[in-house]
Structure 1
Amino acid sequence: MVCIPCIVIPVLLWLFKKFLEPYIYPVVRRIWPKKSVQQGGEKDMGMADGKGAGTNGLPTKGPTEVSDKKKD
């Protein structure tokens, strides 16, 4: 047996997508304009190789040098 929200939520999402979004989207687009992404210049070239970037791709603070712990 399927629970009621498992039936109602997809139907509501379909109704929103089909009938409401075409009217709501132009209004939202005027309120929240899309930010333009600047094309990479000399400043962004250092991040392309992954150095200085954390695991999520954002710049990290502190040294970016990796130390070898297996030195003899």
Structure 2
Amino acid sequence: MVCIPCIVIPVLLWVYKRFLEPYIYPIISPIIRRFWNNAAVDQTAANTTDKHKTAECNGTANGSTANGPKTVADKKAD
């Protein structure tokens, strides 16, 4: 048996995204832009690109190294 919120919340989110958001978003977007300024978004984007550039310069990207894939010692040997 599935709990009621597990059914109701996804359905309500789907109804909002599909039918209500196209009408509500143009009304509330100017209000959101006042509180959420572009400087914060630009600063976050700049920090993200700096981290990626640093990882590329060090030779690592997403935790991998240039020496090859990491081996996992927990796997069974067949």
TM range (shorter): 0.3 to 0.5
> Which structure is larger by alpha-carbon Rg, 1 or 2?
1
Greater length-normalized contact order (CA 8 Å, ≥ 6 residues apart): 1
TM-score if structure 1 supplies the norm length? 0.46
Answer 1 or 2: which has greater helix percent.
Answer: 2
Query: How does the TM-score come out when normalised to structure 2?
Result: 0.43
